[in-house]
Structure 1
Amino acid sequence: MKLAVVGGGSTYTPELIDGFARLRDTLPVSELVLIDPAADRLELVGGLARRIFARQGHPGRITTTADLDAGVEGADAVLLQLRIGGQAARLQDETWPLECGCVGQETTGAGGLAKALRTVPVVLDIAERVRRASPDAWIIDFTNPVGIVTRALLQAGHRAVGLCNVAIGLQRKFAALLEVDPSGIHLDHVGLNHLTWELGVRKGGPDGEDLLPGLLTAHGGAIATDLRLPRAVLDRLGVVPSYYLRYFYAHDEVVRELGSKPSRAAEVAAMERELLALYADPALDEKPALLAKRGGAFYSEAAVDLAAALLGDGSGTSPVQVVNTRNAGTLPFLPDDAVIEVQARIEGAGGPGGPGPVPVPLAVPRLDPLYAGLISHVTAYEDLALDAALRGGRERVFRALLAHPLVGQFDLAEGLTERLLAHNKEYLAWA
């Protein structure tokens, strides 16, 4: 089995490599290609990756290349983990929206739109080249904003699934609080990427006992602290929102905080420099503890589980996993081609319905309008954001910003449009 990782020079990659090494019985990778144009970073990461495989006795071969077409040729699956513009562009995404009193974040709000505009054309070019080199390869997208990028891929006819680590992180957290094995926890996870709620925490599977009420009673304070939301919010909702909902539920508070401290991008850039220095040590043969602070926790487990299910018969993997995929009637208030983040049954090549994810019907007959309304609103924004990413144009950028629930005012949308275009000219061919 051959896998390729586009963006293989990322400091995230050793997390992925560690998972491939530990879970080799689930996903028997014989060849892994790390692809990245940044030669210096790629060699550091590639060297550590080979040492991790050697330490854990993995027989697979790891190669590195800047040649995308050669790297993906013959691949069974291609993982995308890109950051167009690097941490410098992320720093801008987190900074200029604050000048307008709006949240500065790389996947949400105006900064998220900027990232989508930079990213979608590049990802679509990569996907076309993957299709030419390996027509049957699955594309697993971990590149933010995952929902918009995955919709672009699916709309262009690619075999693609979006992946995020929010759900698996919550599954592991809840399992630890309940003192049970994570495999025995099923989440009633619903929404869009970075806009999700856990409506239930079930024992054993989709039809199991809902443990969420007791979990909130016993551990609501700890969960709320992790989400940086008041305990009262969880008590009144009766569900667990993703931590990204804080940008909506406490927007003005977040803006004040972001304006009073160094940006996350600056912190991550400093952390990346330290990580790369660690990776250069020829004695290092495991992922360093510092990597846990970089983000992407449990990404490797989620990626291994998904790839194994897509490429095999599903044995040894979770039959139901949280992914980003076509709505296809799952949320009846959204278009069928919208991309949602829900539990889905992952069919391998021999699946009865054909390969790919099949969303599991929701446990509730009708989604509460409190959640459905925001999902609908953000989906409308994502429609306009994708249109702007595909066709360009100042007016399309403005319309997407005006439609976003964290913007929604003419003057704000106008000011944000000017700043977005000014800071992203080098990445937007039409600007």
Structure 2
Amino acid sequence: MKLAVVGGGSTYTPELIDGFARLRDTLPISELVLIDPAADRLELVGGLARRIFAKQGHDGKIVTTSDVDAGVADADAVLLQLRVGGQAARNNDETWPLECGCVGQETTGAGGLAKALRTVPVVLDIAERVRRTNPNAWIIDFTNPVGIVTRALLQAGHKAVGLCNVAIGFQRTFARLLGVAPADVHLNHVGLNHLTWETGVRLGGPEGADLLPKLLAEHGDAIADDLRLPRQVLDRLGVVPSYYLRYFYAHDEVVRELRTKPSRAAEVAEMEKQLLEMYGDPALDEKPELLAKRGGAFYSEAAVDLAASLLGGGGSPYQVVNTVNRGTLPFLPDDAVIEVQAAVGGQGPTPLPVPEPDPLYTGLIAHVTAYEDLALEAALRGGRDRVFKAMLSHPLIGQYEYAEALTDKLIAHNREHLAWA
């Protein structure tokens, strides 16, 4: 089995490599290709990757290349984990929206739109290269904003599934609190990427007993602390929102916080310098502890599980993925991309039925879906007017003066990445 990772020079990659090595019985990789245009980073990461495989007794071959066409040729699956513009572009996404009093974040609001505009054309170009070299390969997208990028891929006819680590993070947390194995925890996970709610936590599978009321009653304080939301909000909702809902439920509070500290991008950039120094140490043969602070917890387990199921291996029968709606959420268009539990096999994911969602969050899901439609249109066709309409439609912006100013700032900070600007 051959897998290719586009963005293989990322400091995230050793987390992925560690999972591939530990879970080799689930996903038996014979060749892993790390693809990245940054040759210096790629060699550091590739060297550590080979040492991790060797230490854990994995006999798969690891290849590094900057040639996308050669790297994805004959691959059974291609993982996308790229960041167009690097941490410098992310730092911009997290700072200039604050000038208008709007949250600065790389996956939602104005910053998320900027990332989508930079990313969609690049991802589609890579996907076309995959299709030319191996039309049967699955594309697994971990590149943010996952919902918009996955919809772009599916709309263009690619065999694609979007993946996020939020759900597996909740699964691991709830399993620990309940004292059970993670595989025994089944989530009723509903929404869009980075806009999701856990409406049930079932033991043993989709038909198991719902333990969410027990979790909220016995561990509500700890869950609320992790989400940085008041306990009473969770009690009144009766569900567990993802961390990203804090940008909506406590927007002004978050803006005040972000204005008083360095951006997350600045923190990550400094962390990456340290990580790359560590990766260059020929004695290092495991992922360093610092990597846990970089983000992406459990990404490797989720990626292995999904790839194994898509490629006919031993992945879990049900997984949370980003896939086409097809009537699962009846208040959304069939071609919307949603994030829900799905049965995953060689033909791809099939969303499980979702109980009728509460209007408390269906309105926000529909609102953000409409924004994503406009954001994808802007990413595909360009133009200031399309960017403005996407800005205006976003629930974290919504005022024409802000939309006008943020559109100008987005274009000014991303001109080198926008072919039409």
TM-score category, normalised to shorter length: over 0.9
1:371 partnered with 2:369 = no
Residue 360 of structure 1 is matched in structure 2 by: 352
- Do the aligned partners of 2:35 and 2:64 also contact (CA within 8 Å) in 1? yes
Q: Which runs of 4+ in 1 moved over 3 A?
A: none
**Which residue does 1:342 correspond to in 2?**
340
Q: Which residue of 1 aligns with 2:400?
A: 410
Output the CA distance in 1 between the equivalents of 2:322 and 2:135: 21
Matched, 1:422 2:390: no
| Counterpart position of 2:142 | 142
* Equivalent in the alignment of 1:69: 69
Contact kept? 2:148, 2:372, Cα under 8 Å: yes
Report the Cα offset of residue 317 of structure 1. 1.8
Q: Deviations over 1:192-248 (max 9, x none)?
A: 000000000000000000000010000000000000000010000000000000000
User: Aligned with 1:58: secondary structure?
Assistant: coil
Equivalent residue number for residue 169 of structure 1: 169
Residue 325, structure 1, aligned to residue 323, structure 2: yes
Residue type at the aligned position of 2:352: V
| Structure-2 residue corresponding to 1:42 | 42
Write the mapping of 1:224-243 to structure 2, written as runs, cut at 5 A: 224-243=224-243
CA contact (8 A) 2:307 2:315 kept: no
Find the counterpart in structure 2 of residue 130 from structure 1: 130
* Mapping for residues 37-116 of structure 1, pairs under 5 Å: 37-116=37-116
SS at 2:386's partner residue?
A: helix
Question: For residues 412 and 207 of structure 1, what CA distance do their matches in structure 2 show?
Answer: 46
Secondary structure of the residue aligned to 2:5 is: strand
CA distance in 2 between partners of 1:36 and 1:215 (Å): 42
Structure 2 matches for 1:275-290, cutoff 5 A? 275-290=275-290
The superposition leaves residues 4-59 of structure 1 with CA deviations (integer Å, 9 ceiling, x where unpaired) of 00000000000000000000000000000000000000000000000000000001
Structure 1 residue aligned with 2:219 = 219
Normalised TM-score (structure 1) = 0.97
Gaps of 5+ in 2: none
The alpha carbon displacement at 1:327 in A equals 0.2
Aligned length: 421
- Unpaired runs of 5+ residues, structure 1, are 349-354
Tell me, what secondary structure is at the counterpart of 1:424?
A: helix
Question: Which residue pairs with 1:382 in the alignment?
Answer: 372
Matched letter for residue 104 of structure 1: G
User: Residues 222-280 of structure 1: CA distance to partner in whole angstroms, max 9, x if unpaired?
Assistant: 00000000001000000000000000000000000000001100000000000000000
Partner of 1:292: 292
Residues 299-346 of structure 1: per-residue CA shift (max 9 Å, x gap)? 00000000000001x5x3210000000000000000000000000000
Cα deviation for residue 100 of structure 1 reads 0.2
Deviation for aligned residue 1:72: 0.4
Instruction: Say which SS state the counterpart of residue 3 (structure 1) adopts.
Output: strand
| CA RMSD, 1 decimal | 0.4
- How many Å separate the matches in 2 of 1:161 and 1:243? 22
- Supply the AA of the counterpart residue of 2:419: A
Q: Give the drift of 1:62.
A: 0.1
Query: By how many angstroms is 1:347 displaced?
Result: 1.5
- Distance in 2 between residues matched to 1:120 and 1:163, nearest whole Å: 16
Identify the residue that residue 395 of structure 1 maps to in structure 2. 385
Deviations 1:137-165 (A, max 9, x none): 00000000000000000000000000000
Q: Distance in 1 between matches of 2:169 and 2:365?
A: 21
Q: Percent identity?
A: 82
1:13 alignment counterpart = 13
Say whether the 8 Å CA contact 2:91–2:265 is kept in structure 1.
yes
Please give the secondary structure, in 2, of the residue aligned with 1:53.
helix
Task: Report what 1:185 is aligned to.
Answer: 185
Deviation at residue 128 of structure 1 after TM alignment? 0.1
Paired with 2:212 and 2:331, the residues of 1 have a C-alpha distance of 26
Q: Is the 8 A contact 2:90 2:106 kept in 1?
A: yes
Residue 191 of structure 1 and its aligned partner are, at CA, apart by 0.1
Q: Whole-Å Cα distance in 1 between the matches of residues 92 and 215 of structure 2?
A: 39
State how 1:16-35 maps to structure 2 within 5 Å: 16-35=16-35
CA distance in 2, matches of 1:92, 1:199: 35
- Matched residues in 2 for 1:51 and 1:5: separation? 18
Letter of the 1:381 counterpart:
Y
| One-letter amino acid of the structure 1 residue matched with residue 341 of structure 2 | Q
Specify the alignment match of 2:264 in structure 1: 264
Query: Matched residues in 2 for 1:333 and 1:251: separation?
Result: 26
> Do 2:305 and 2:316's aligned partners in 1 also have CA atoms closer than 8 Å?
yes
Q: Is the 8 A contact 2:18 2:287 kept in 1?
A: yes
For 1:61 and 1:423, locate their aligned partners in 2 and report how far apart those are by CA, in whole Å.
Answer: 40
Distance 1:281 1:179 in 2: 38
Distance in 1 (alpha carbons) for counterparts of 2:28 and 2:234: 41
Which amino acid is 2:351 matched to? P
Contact persistence 2:371–2:390 (CA under 8 A)? yes
Between the aligned partners of 1:371 and 1:95, the Cα distance in structure 2 is: 28
Q: Could you say which residue in structure 2 is the equivalent of 1:352? A: none
Secondary structure of 1:343's partner? Answer: strand
